[in-house]
């Protein structure tokens, strides 16, 4: 993807500035203002890490994803929150595939994304227009709920698991929707052996309006107070729902206040299929 040099009026006259194509996408959304926002920037080669992190901080959405083409249907992919690079991000992967299909001229049916820590992730375009992502699903193990976690969440879960995140089960969807955690306290806590930085908590309950499970995801440890729609969380949630409830295919609502996202998940051994839609809301240029 080209990054032309342009003339841009600065305070001291005209300065030489680099211009990058940028798309902003609502992922796991049927229309604008739903799901989770991601910025997608196609590149010819990755920029220095500090520059990519600075751009993500400037964009100030949950994730900014950078993609670099390496073959006919293959790209390298990296994800940054406004604070850190993360090893896996579902909604920005969905958004990146949507951009390639809808805006960047890719006419194939499937895309392969090579990532630094999560291996190869594939995204396939379905006949109904939805995108199906193939992701790893790591093992989970049940853990005790500590008093510190209960206090930070503001309510005591009835059950908890450790994995790539801390997963906390509550009795009802209403309990999940009523949560108002102490984010400063939550940022310092996590599950034993958690794969990511501490302070990443998925909270869920079985059931909900027209869905199998309702959840929310708090991520102060990743620089995000609450994430609106989190694909990586659903790789863990799919495994828990399979092991506890015997449901290998689930329809999920991530009940972020005012937005929310719907994600279909199907567990297949050590992999999970995450299915959803995405909508472009902004197309423009980012000037460095």
Catalytic sites, residue numbers: 63
- Return d(Cα 215, Cα 229) in angstroms, integer: 9
d(CA 89, CA 91): 6
CB atoms within 10 A of CB 11: 5
Cα separation, 20 vs 128, whole angstroms: 32
Contact 28, 229 (CB under 8 A): yes
The backbone region for 223, taken as left when phi is positive above 0, alpha when psi lies in -120 to 50, beta otherwise, is: left
Written as six digits, the tokens of 81 are 């929150």
- As a whole number of angstroms, the distance between CA 119 and CA 77 comes to 10
> By C-alpha distance, which of 283, 275, 285 is closest to 91?
275
DSSP sequence for 235-259? HHHHHHHHHHH--SEEEEEE--TT-
Cβ–Cβ < 8 Å for 68, 46: yes
Measured distance CA(93)–CA(124) in Å, rounded: 12
């Amino acid at each position: 993807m080209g990054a032309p040099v342009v003339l841009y009026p600065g305070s001291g006259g005209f300065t030489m500035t680099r211009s990058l194509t940028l798309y902003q996408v609502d992922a796991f959304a049927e229309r604008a203002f739903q799901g989770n926002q991601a910025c997608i920037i196609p590149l010819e080669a990755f920029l220095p890490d500090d520059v990519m992190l600075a751009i993500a901080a400037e964009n100030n959405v949950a994730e900014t994803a950078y993609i670099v083409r390496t073959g006919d249907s293959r790209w390298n992919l990296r994800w940054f929150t406004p604070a850190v690079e993360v090893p896996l991000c579902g909604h920005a992967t969905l958004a990146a595939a949507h951009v390639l299909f809808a805006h960047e001229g890719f006419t194939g049916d499937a895309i392969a994304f090579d990532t630094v820590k999560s291996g190869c992730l594939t995204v396939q375009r379905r006949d109904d227009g939805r995108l199906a992502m193939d992701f790893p699903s790591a093992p989970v193990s049940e853990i005790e709920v500590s008093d510190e976690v209960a206090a930070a969440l503001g309510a005591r879960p009835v059950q908890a698991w450790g994995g790539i995140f801390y997963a906390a089960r509550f009795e009802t969807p209403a309990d999940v929707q009523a949560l108002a955690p102490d984010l400063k306290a939550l940022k310092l806590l996590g599950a034993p052996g958690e794969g990511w930085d501490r302070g990443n908590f998925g909270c869920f309950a079985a059931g909900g309006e027209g869905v199998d499970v309702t959840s929310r995801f708090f991520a102060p440890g990743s620089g995000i107070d609450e994430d609106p729609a989190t694909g990586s969380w659903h790789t863990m949630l799919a495994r828990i729902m399979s092991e506890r409830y015997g449901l290998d295919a689930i329809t999920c609502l991530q009940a972020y206040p005012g937005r929310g996202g719907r994600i279909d998940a199907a567990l297949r051994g050590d992999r999970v299929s995450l299915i959803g839609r995405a909508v472009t809301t902004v197309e423009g240029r980012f000037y460095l």
